[in-house]
């Protein structure tokens, strides 16, 4: 099998690495890729969000499968153009990608499918936003309705800050979704979909805030780990039955079947399982941790999804080890990250037993030296016999890497490694008039 992976980041590096471990995959290409991906497979410079440009490249390479990594190309309709050219694609259509492209649309789908989620209101002006904030109360949760690379969410006890974020979205011509705050730990679950059948991967947990102890602004994600020994027994089956399958069924009913990966962002709250958000692609950096443990042929799985044959797939096989991924970010990320800083020590980090480095925002300068080229520069993944071991390996590898102004969190998977993740006590739900969601 020959595969083209579309996208430039750490998620795509993890996907390429997993594909290369599949004995059924003979050749992998990436577009545009990054410096780390280019060291593994041929890369092609293309605008990943341009349907015509990507399709032209696909016709030239003639792959057996096209895997589209990021959300922007999916929302732009790249998968539709490639499918129309006659190629199998792992990635939802433009219409199905609206599940991530519009949080308001996702709430409508969840309501129709009976999926448990946070109560919410959509606001298109300051007055509506202020009313919704007062209905739900603090902590205030305000989400940009459109794509925001994981950084369009503000959770704060400061009403003025919440209203200011809403106003910035209105000023940019958008809407916001204002939700009730969901207590309890968060879980990420990727579910492979072929339009009808769903196959869950192993759950993970990521860390959105920039600083230790979940302080500072939201980012695209500063680290992740898998598996989650602390989740309730049967959680994955529960998510499939109550969230993923009903959503895929509803999308099929609407005439927009979902083919690709449905990212279920979940909260295990005091009122039970609730969906925080849907994404229509592998999450970053959870992918780096989850795929490090996958032992099933990855290319075969993605091709089965693209061709509507997931029902015939063998049960997934997983390594018994734990995986921890720690992100190294650039100076001043997530505000205005500095680029062009020299990166050293990658080979030393990769030489640490159980460690591999996945590039995200990297490039080669004119002298051929590795430099930073984005906010999240790379992720160091440690694979160990348990979370304690995996954390030690990941941070040992990270200590070998030099990046001027680089920053990372020191507490990725720390609570879980100490068995300190707790679930909230169950309580009776409250309701807010005019809100959407809260299916039990």
- Bridge partners of residue 223, in order along the sequence: 326
Residue 150 confidence (pLDDT): 52
Kindly provide the residue ranges of all beta strands, DSSP E only, lying in 8-119, ordered along the sequence: 27-32, 65-68, 89-90
Calculate Rg over the CA atoms of the chain: 21
Residue 71 has a pLDDT of: 94
Indicate the SS3 state at residue 375.
coil
In terms of Cα–Cα distance, which of 354, 352, 376 is closest to 34? 376
Nearest to 428 by CA among 269, 268, 271, 267: 271
Strand partners for 153 = 143
Phi, psi of 15 (to 5 degrees): -65, -45
Query: Can you give the pLDDT at residue 433?
Result: 45
* pLDDT reported for residue 102: 87
The residues facing 154 across adjacent strands are: 142
List average pLDDT for each run of 10 residues in the chain, which is 440 residues long: 98 98 98 98 98 98 98 96 98 96 91 92 91 91 75 84 91 89 94 98 97 93 97 97 98 98 96 93 97 98 98 97 98 97 98 98 97 98 98 98 98 97 77 51
Q: pLDDT of 290-313, one tens digit each?
A: 999 999 999 999 999 999 999 999
Residue with tokens 């009776």: 428
pLDDT for position 174? 86
CA 183 from chain center: how many Å? Answer: 21
* Cβ neighbours of 209 (radius 10 Å): 17
Give the DSSP letter of residue 218. E
User: Which backbone phi and psi does 365 adopt, to 5 degrees?
Assistant: -80, -175
> Which domains does the chain possess?
2-93 (3.40.50.20), 119-179 (3.30.1490.20)
Per-residue pLDDT tens over the stretch 320-342: 999 999 999 999 999 999 999 99
- Laid out side by side, the sheet with 259-269 consists of 198-200, 186-194, 259-269, 272-279
Residues forming beta bridges with residue 67, ordered by sequence position: 5, 90
Q: What is the pLDDT of residue 145?
A: 81
Instruction: Classify residue 109 by burial, with Cβ atoms within 10 Å: 0-12, 13-18, 19+.
Output: buried
d(CA 328, CA 427) in angstroms, rounded, equals: 39
CA distance 310 to 294: 17
Cα separation, 223 vs 409, in Å, equals 8
pLDDT score recorded for residue 278:
95
């Amino acid at each position: 099998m020959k595969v083209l992976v579309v996208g430039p980041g750490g998620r795509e590096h993890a996907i390429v690495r997993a594909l290369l471990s599949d004995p059924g995959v003979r050749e992998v290409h990436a577009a545009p890729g990054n410096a780390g991906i280019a060291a593994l497979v041929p890369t092609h410079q293309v605008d990943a969000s341009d349907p015509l440009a990507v399709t032209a490249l696909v016709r030239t390479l003639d792959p057996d499968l096209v895997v589209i990594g990021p959300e922007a190309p999916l929302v732009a309709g790249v998968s539709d153009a490639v499918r129309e050219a006659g190629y199998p694609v792992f990635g939802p259509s433009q219409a199905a990608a609206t599940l991530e492209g519009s949080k308001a649309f996702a709430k409508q789908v969840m309501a129709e499918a009976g999926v448990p989620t946070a109560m919410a209101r959509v606001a298109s002006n300051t007055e509506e936003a202020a009313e919704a904030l007062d209905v739900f109360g603090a902590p205030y949760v305000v989400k940009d309705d459109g794509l925001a690379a994981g950084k369009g969410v503000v959770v704060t006890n400061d009403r003025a800050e919440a209203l200011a974020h809403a106003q910035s979205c209105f000023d940019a011509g958008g809407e916001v979704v204002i939700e009730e705050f969901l207590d309890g730990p968060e879980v990420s679950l990727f579910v492979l979909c072929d339009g009808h059948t769903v196959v869950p991967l192993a759950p993970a947990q990521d860390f959105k805030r920039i600083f230790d102890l979940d302080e500072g602004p939201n980012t695209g994600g500063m680290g992740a780990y898998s598996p989650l020994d602390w989740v309730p027994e049967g959680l994955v089956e529960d998510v499939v039955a109550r969230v993923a399958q009903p959503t895929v069924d509803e999308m099929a009913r609407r005439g927009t079947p979902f083919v690709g990966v449905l990212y279920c962002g979940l909260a295990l709250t005091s009122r039970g399982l609730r969906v925080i958000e849907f994404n229509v692609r592998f999450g970053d950096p959870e992918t780096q941790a989850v795929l490090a443990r996958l032992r099933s042929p990855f290319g075969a799985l993605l091709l089965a999804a693209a061709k509507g044959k997931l029902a015939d797939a063998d049960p997934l096989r997983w390594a018994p080890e734990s995986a921890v991924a720690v992100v190294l970010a650039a100076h001043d990320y997530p505000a205005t990250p500095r680029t062009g800083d020299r990166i050293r020590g990658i080979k030393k980090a990769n030489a640490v037993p159980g460690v591999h480095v996945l590039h995200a925002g990297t490039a080669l300068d004119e002298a051929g030296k590795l430099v930073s080229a984005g906010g999240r520069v790379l992720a160091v993944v440690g694979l160990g016999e348990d979370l304690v071991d995996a954390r030690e390996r990941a941070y040992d590898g990270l200590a070998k890497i030099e990046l001027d102004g680089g920053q990372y969190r020191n507490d990725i998977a720390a609570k879980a490694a100490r068995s300190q993740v707790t679930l909230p006590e169950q309580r009776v739900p409250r309701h807010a008039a005019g809100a959407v969601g809260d299916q039990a």
